[in-house]
Amino acid sequence: MTRIKEFNLPDLGEGLTEGEILGWLVSVGDTIELNQPIVEVETAKAAVEIPAKWGGRVREIFHPAGSTVEVGTPIIAIDTDPDAGELPGATARPAGELPEPSAEALAAVPPAPAGPVEPGLIGGPAPGGRTPVLVGYGPRTTAAKRRPRKPTSPGTPPTQPRPAAAPAQPTGNRPPPPTAEPVLPAAQQVAPVAEPVSTGQRNGAVLAKPPVRKLARDLGVDLRTLTGSGPLGSITRDDVHQAVAATEAVAEPAGRTATTTAPSFDADRERRIPIKGVRKLTAENMVASAFTAPHVTEFLTVDVTRSMKALDRLRSRPDWREVRCSPLLLVAKAVLLAVGRHPQVNSTWAGDEIVVKEYVNLGIAAATERGLIVPNIKDAGRLSLRELADAMTDLVKTAKAGRTAPADMAGGTFTITNVGVFGVDTGTPILPPGESAILAFGAVREMPWVHKGKVRVRQVTTLALSFDHRIIDGELGSRFLADVGSFLADPEAALLAWT
C-alpha cells in the first residue's frame, strides 16, 4: 500500500457539488496529526474547516487558495509514514512547480564521446553546424542573452544587450575566410530614431489576452508601442491604462482651457463580484420560492410598550444579568406559542399533500460577510425562555463568525427576519424553500398612540407575515398574526392564558 495518500474534497452536506478554498491551514512539509484542521472551504451553505483524514507530512497541495474545486477532486497529498525515509524522486514541492531531475535520471544520460563522432549521432556535428544533444542536457553552445530592460522614462531606449563573444579564430592550414565588412547584430545597429522595444512581442506578434486587446482597441492604444510587464513580457490591462494616463498627462497642458472633463462610462468605473458560495445558493432559492409559492403578505402594527418593560424586569433578575435579552427573544416566543395554536402554519407543500410538522425548527435570518444565511434552532418549541435565549445567542455568534455548519441550516420549518436592527419598519419577506410562512419584525419606535382613550407616546413596531396561499388562507394567516401581536402587546397575560 502506498505511503502517499491523496485527500479528496468531501461532500459537505446536502449534495453540494463544489467548494471554494478560502485558505490553507498547513504548508508543504508540515507534519500534521489525524483530524487536524488543514483547509478552510466555503460551500453554498457556509465556511467550514476540514480535518485531515490521516496523520503524516504534507507532500503536495494541488489547489491554491481561491480555487473552486469539485467534490471528489484531490486537494492535498499526505505522506502517512514520513519516518521511513524519502521516496525516490518524490521531493515535496508546492503545487505547479516541476521537480528537479533525480541523480538516477542524470546518471542514465550517456556522456558525450571524447573523440570525433559521426555526423548525425548524439554529440556529433549536424547540418547547420549544430551539435545534437538530449534536450535539457549537454554543453551550452551559445552565450546567454538577457531580455532588454524597460526604458526608465518615456522616449529613452532600453539598455542594449552585451555583444556575444567573438568567434574562434581559424586553426590549422585552412585559409582564413575572405575579409568582409563586419555586420553588427540587429540589436547593436543604431536606428535613426530610438523607439521603445516592446517585450510583449515574440516574432513580431504581441503577447496579450483577448480582453486586453479589446480594451486597447476601445481606448485607442497601439499594443505594439507598449512594454509588457506580465509573464513572458505579455501586456496587461495595467500597461494599457498606464499608456492612456501618460498620453493624457502629456496632452493636459494643451487642454487646460477646458473647464470640465467628459465623464467616462467604461469598465474602469465598474466592479464585478463573482456569484458563488452562499450568495449563489440564496439567489437560486429566492427565485425558486418567488416563482413557485403564491406569496401573500399581511401587516400588523403593535404597541409593544409592555414587552419592552417586561424585558427590563427580566434583565434585572440575578440569573438573567449575563443573558442577552432583546425584543427578538419575545417575538420568537410569541411565534412558537402561536404555532402551537395554529399548527398548519408550520407545514410544507408536498405536491399532492400538506405535511404538518409537530416540531418547530425556528430559523433566524442572519446577515454575514458572505451573504444572508438562515440557521435554525432545532425543536425550539421544547425550549424554555432561558434556553431559547442561549440558543439564539449562540446561533448569531456562530453565524457572524462564519462557522455555521451546513446541518444547522437544513430542515427549517418557520423563519423570523429582524429588519428592525437596520432601522427599517417592515418589509415583504420571501419564503425560504420548503416553508409556508416567514415573519418580518420591524424597528421599535416611540410614536403617538391612543392608549386608554388618550394620545400618549408608546413604543410601537410593525409585523409583516408572508405565507404560502396554497397552504394558509387569509383567515388562518390573519389569526396567526393577530396572536403574535397579542402576545407582544401583553406578554405576561398571554403566558398565563396560553400555557
Q: Which residues, in sequence order, are bridge partners of residue 68?
A: 20
What cell numbers appear for 204 in the block? Answer: 513580431
Most confident option among 74-83, 100-109, 133-142, 153-162: 74-83
CATH of the domain at 217: 4.10.320.10
Give me the mean pLDDT over the 160-180 stretch. Answer: 47
Indicate whether 420 belongs to any domain: yes
Residue finishing a domain among 217, 243, 269: 243
Residue-wise pLDDT for 210-235, tens only, equals: 778 878 888 888 888 888 888 878 88
Indicate the number of domains in the chain.
3
For residue 266, tell me if it sits in a domain: no
pLDDT at 157 over 80: no
Query: Which is catalytic among the residues 241, 295, 342, 469?
Result: 469
Active site residue 469: yes
Q: What is the CA radius of gyration of the chain?
A: 36
CB 44 within 8 A of CB 16: yes
Residue 436, pLDDT above cutoff 80:
yes
Contact yes or no for 79/52 (Cβ under 8 A): no
CATH number where 25 lies:
2.40.50.100
Same domain, 373 and 471: yes
Residue 354 in domain: yes
Check whether residue 428 and residue 326 sit in a common domain: yes
385 and 468 co-located in one domain: yes
Domain boundary among 187, 222, 243: 243
Of residues 203, 247, 228, 482, the one with CA closest to residue 342: 482
The total of other beta-carbon atoms located within 10 Å of residue 246's CB is 11
Q: Say whether pLDDT at 94 is over 50.
A: no
**464 and 355 in a common domain:** yes
Residue 81 lies in a domain: yes
Q: What is the pLDDT of residue 343?
A: 95
Other residues' Cβ atoms within 10 Å of the Cβ of residue 120: 10
Q: Can you give the pLDDT at residue 91?
A: 47
Residue 284 belongs to some domain of the structure:
yes
pLDDT digits (tens, 9 = 90+) for 448-475: 999 999 999 999 999 999 999 999 999 9
Whether residue 43 contacts residue 1, with contact meaning beta carbons closer than 8 Å, is answered with no
How far is residue 99 from each of residues 74, 77, 233, 286, measured CA to CA in Å?
19, 15, 25, 48
The β-bridge partners of 57 are 31, 79
Instruction: Please say which residue of 85, 110, 127 terminates a domain.
Output: 85
User: Angle at CA 343, nearest 5°, toward 342 and 344?
Assistant: 95
Looking at residue 468, its pLDDT comes to 94
Domain holding 311, by residue range, is: 277-498
Distance CA(157)–CA(159), nearest Å, equals: 7
